[in-house]
Amino acid sequence: MTKGIDLGRFPTVPLCHRPTPLEFLGNLTEYLGGPKIWIKRDDCTGLATGGNKARKLEFLMGDANAQSATCVITQGAVQSNHVRQTAAAAARMGLGCKALLERRVPQATHEYETSGNVALDRLMNVALEYLPSGADMNAEMERTADVLRQNGEKPYIIPGGGSNAIGALGYVSCAMELTSQVNNAGIVVDYIIHATGSAGTQAGLVAGLNALGSNIGVLGISVRATEEVQRASVLKLARQTTSLIGISTEVPDAAVQVDARFIGPGYGIPTSEIVDAISLVARLEGILLDPVYSGKGMAGFIGLIKEGRFSKDDNIVFLHTGGSSGLFGYVGALNLS
């Protein structure tokens, strides 16, 4: 099944609990009246409360090691799950970690700025620097790298969300893992649905499934960018990833599907649909989603079900990309305090 994709030649560091479980959500399926809803538990990857960045970091940290880095630099929004997981990976590897946090979300509360992922970042001893919304984060990472080099360090820059072709290999690997799980269980999956942001998750899945010749569709629920912008970034990265793994079958345009109708007022601002989706899944399944990504992804999925997009007997896999630590930065916004 997986012949043709050789990920073994890329350096990796073991950071992730794999395979993550694939579970059937019976209560949610019954409540919504179908389709059959499965969940791929990438919230259980195990890296300091888990999430999708762990898979990418196995490859990125492998590359950092191969380049003899002494520290890593990355960036994200203040409540970045990616920064938290990078901090954990760096801690485990004994590397320094510097993270630039963009104040991307307007009118942030004290809990947003200090609790949730930020508190965990501090616990893991990351050097944090806050920057204003709209800062050129890539240029800021280069500036930070220069300073560290002058101090004799060998910094390795990890892009926001870990989303370059090397990071996306983590989701090529996930596509292989999921395909073998569904084949073993005898399930014919129609779609994988998940929240898409910096694009590496969707790009890796699309590249992997395309390389495997799979018919499973991938639909990204955008958390920030318009459909056109998000489709273009996923497609570009999926093609770069395909060439990195040495596969000649080009990713067709139609393989990248994005729905940007559930963004609401903007990145990191929970809508009532998101709050409802988070509480529905918590109450029916005891599973924790988050207000920025997986809750928005689920709100989009439920929205599509209500529009009649799927038939009752379709098998849909919701990829739970993690993020529950972020709940603590949003206790007030979720009406939980």
Ligand X SMILES: *Cc1c(COP(=O)(O)O)cnc(C)c1O
Binding stretches for ligand X (CB under 6 A): 51-52, 81-82, 161, 163, 195-202, 290, 293-294, 321-323
Closer of 78 and 199 to ligand X (Cβ): 199
Q: How far is the CB of 66 from ligand X (least distance, A)?
A: 22
Q: How far is the CB of 68 from ligand X (least distance, A)?
A: 27
**Tokens standing for residue 225:** 């960018």
Residue type, 318: F
Closer of 199 and 256 to ligand X (Cβ): 199
Closer of 115 and 294 to ligand X (Cβ): 294
Residue 104, Cβ neighbours under 10 Å: how many? 21
Q: How far is the CB of 236 from ligand X (least distance, A)?
A: 13
If you write DSSP's letter for every residue of 216-245 in order, what string do you get?
A: -EEEEEESSS-HHHHHHHHHHHHHHHHHHT
Task: Check: CB of residue 163 under 8 Å from CB of residue 74.
Answer: no
Closer of 148 and 300 to ligand X (Cβ): 300
Closer of 53 and 98 to ligand X (Cβ): 53
**Tokens standing for residue 186:** 């005898």
Q: How far is the CB of 308 from ligand X (least distance, A)?
A: 26
Q: Is 115 a catalytic residue?
A: no
d(CA 221, CA 260): 6
d(CA 171, CA 194): 12
d(CA 229, CA 95): 35
Mapping DSSP onto H, E and C, the string for 162-213 reads HCCHHHHHHHHHHHHHHHHHHHHHCCCCCEEEEEECCCHHHHHHHHHHHHHC
Q: How far is the CB of 171 from ligand X (least distance, A)?
A: 7
Task: Check: CB of residue 273 under 8 Å from CB of residue 262.
Answer: yes
Residues tagged active-site: 80
